[in-house]
Amino acid sequence: MSQSTPVLQVIDLKKELRVGEVRVQALRGVSFSVARGEFMGVIGPSGSGKSTLLGLIGGLDTPTEGRVLIDGVDITCMSERQLTRIRNEKIGFVFQFFNLIPTLTAQENVALPMQFALRRRANPTQRAKELLTLFGLGDRLHHRPSQLSGGQQQRVAIARALANEPALLLGDEPTGNLDSESSAVVMQALREVRERMGTTVILVTHSMDIAAQLDRVVTLVDGQVVSDGDPRLQAEQAFLKGKRATQNLPSIRG
Ligand SMILES: Nc1ncnc2c1ncn2[C@@H]1O[C@H](COP(=O)(O)OP(=O)(O)OP(=O)(O)O)[C@@H](O)[C@H]1O
Ligand SMILES: [Mg+2]
C-alpha cells in the first residue's frame, strides 16, 4: 500500500432498510475519500443516515450497493470472520454511551482489545497505562466506569479504541452525552490522538461548535451528501448565499 492510498474510500454507497412493508433508503449513493490524518465530521439532520454510514464504514453492517475500502482493501465482500479482524485491528469505535465493561477497571478495559489482537503485544497492561496517562487518567487506572465522570469514561473509551493503533477512529456523537466542559476535554483528547499518532478521526456530531473545530465536514441530507469541505468556508458560502438571496429579494417581489 502506498503512502498516498486514501485510508478510506466510500464509493456510491447505498443502504436500504426495511421494517415490515416499509422500505427506507437510508443512504442513496454516498461517495467520498479520506486521506490519512484527516480530522473529519459528518453532520446532518436526524434520520439523514449518519449512523448508518458510520456503521458501514466500520464494518458493523453491509451495504445494499457500493463499496467501502479501508487502506485500499474492500471490506464489503468480507466474511464475518475477516470483518471481525478488520474491526479489531484497523478501526476504533467510540459511542455516545461509552460502552465500557462495568466490572473491569479503566486499565483492564483498555487492555482488553489487545488480548484479542492477532498481533499480540508484549505487555498490554503497560500499554493501557501509557494510553490512559496520555489522556490524563494516570491516577484513575484502577477505577471502574461507575467511579469515573462522563468525560473520564469517554477518555477511557478513546484509549480503548486506540489500543491496537487503528488506522481509523470512528465516533458516533462521542460528546453527545457530555456537558460542555467534559466535551471540550474529550475534543482536546481527540486532537491529541490525531497529532501524536496520526490517526484519521471521523466524528458524527449534532454540534455546530464541534463541527467548526474540524478540518472537513461532510453534510448528509436524506441519505445524500449535500456538501463536503472546510466548515469555515462552508459557513462563509452559506452566509454569502443568504446575502445574495436577500439582495435578490426586491427583484423577486417585483
Ligand atoms: N434498523 C433499522 N431499520 C429500519 N430503518 C432504520 C434502521 N436504522 C435506521 N433506520 C432508518 O434509516 C434512516 C437513517 O437513520 P440513521 O440512524 O442513520 O440516522 P442519523 O442521521 O444517525 O440520525 P440521528 O441524528 O437521529 O442519530 C432513518 O430514516 C431511520 O429511520
Ligand atoms: Mg445517529
Could you identify the residue written with the cell 477512529? 169
For residue 21, being part of any structural domain is answered with no
For residue 240, being part of any structural domain is answered with yes
Q: What is the pLDDT of residue 254?
A: 37
Can you tell me whether residue 44 is helix, strand or coil?
Answer: coil
Q: Is the per-residue pLDDT at 209 higher than 60?
A: yes
CA 250 remoteness from chain centre: 44
- pLDDT tens-digit profile of 154-171? 999 999 999 998 999 999
Q: Is 252 in the pocket of ligand 1 (CB under 6 A)?
A: no
b/e sequence 54-90, b meaning 16+ C-beta within 10 Å: bbbbbbeeebeebbbbbbeeebbebeeeebeebbbbb
Q: Which domain holds residue 115?
A: 39-60+83-249
> Span 126-142, mean pLDDT?
94
For residue 112, being part of any structural domain is answered with yes
Atom of ligand 1 nearest to the CA of 55: 18
- pLDDT tens-digit profile of 26-79? 999 999 999 999 999 999 999 999 999 999 999 999 999 999 999 999 999 999
Question: Mean of the per-residue pLDDT values for the chain?
Answer: 89
Closest residue by Cα to residue 162 from 104, 207, 201, 105 = 201
The CATH number of the domain where 116 resides is what? 3.40.50.300
Atom of ligand 1 nearest to the CA of 27: 14
7 phi, psi to nearest 5 deg = -70, -30
Q: Starting from the edge strand earliest in sequence, which strands make up the sheet with 22-34, in order?
A: 22-34, 8-19, 65-70, 73-74
Q: Is the per-residue pLDDT at 9 higher than 80?
A: yes
Its pTM stands at 0.88
Closest residue by Cα to residue 167 from 42, 97, 80, 75 = 75
For residue 49, being part of any structural domain is answered with yes
Q: Is 60 in the pocket of ligand 1 (CB under 6 A)?
A: no
Q: What is the pLDDT of residue 253?
A: 43
For residue 7, being part of any structural domain is answered with no
Atom of ligand 1 nearest to the CA of 223: 14
Task: Give ion ligand 2 contacts, CB < 5 A.
Answer: 51
